[in-house]
Amino acid sequence: MDDRKSVEPPHPAQDVTEHVGYRLKRAAAALRGAMDKALREHGLTVPQYACLELLDQQPGLSNAELARGTFVTRQSMNVVLRGLQDAGLISRPATTDHGRALPAHLTAEGRGRLDAARSTVYDIERQMVEAVPQRRLAALLSDLDRMAAALGG
């Protein structure tokens, strides 16, 4: 006899592959794989690319701000920033006048690498967007935002 309790899924689903979380994870894994492959050609990882994008939009962000914006831990962001700095793609002061935050900035080389990688990443996003009917894209983006907000993200 099976003593397991039956738990109803949050929506009709025949198996785990029909759950929203599974589908989101599958899409995220496909995106990550495509980006890993594409960015490797530019000598970047996904977190490094995301960091460069954020610094292009908001120069001077701190380690903590970059970690939040790229969905990695502060410890992981330390490694990302060290790698970018060692590669000459960003600059950070050795010390700061106020607080402990060391603001990061793109170098000319970093901006060039970002520009080259950006077109590759945008091609990947274009592939994803083209798979969704244009009339449904705004609703999809809103739905994804609401899902994240429902979980406190």
- CATH class belonging to 18-150: mainly alpha
Q: What is the pLDDT of residue 12?
A: 76
pLDDT in tens, 76-132: 999 999 999 999 999 998 776 666 678 999 999 999 999 999 999 999 999 999 999
pTM, two decimal places: 0.85
The CA distance from 71 to 73, in Å, is 7
- Residue 124 φ/ψ region, left for φ over 0, alpha for ψ in the -120 to 50 degree band, beta for the rest: alpha
Buried b (16+ CB within 10 A) or exposed e, 88-116: ebbebeeeeeeeeeeebebeeebeebbee
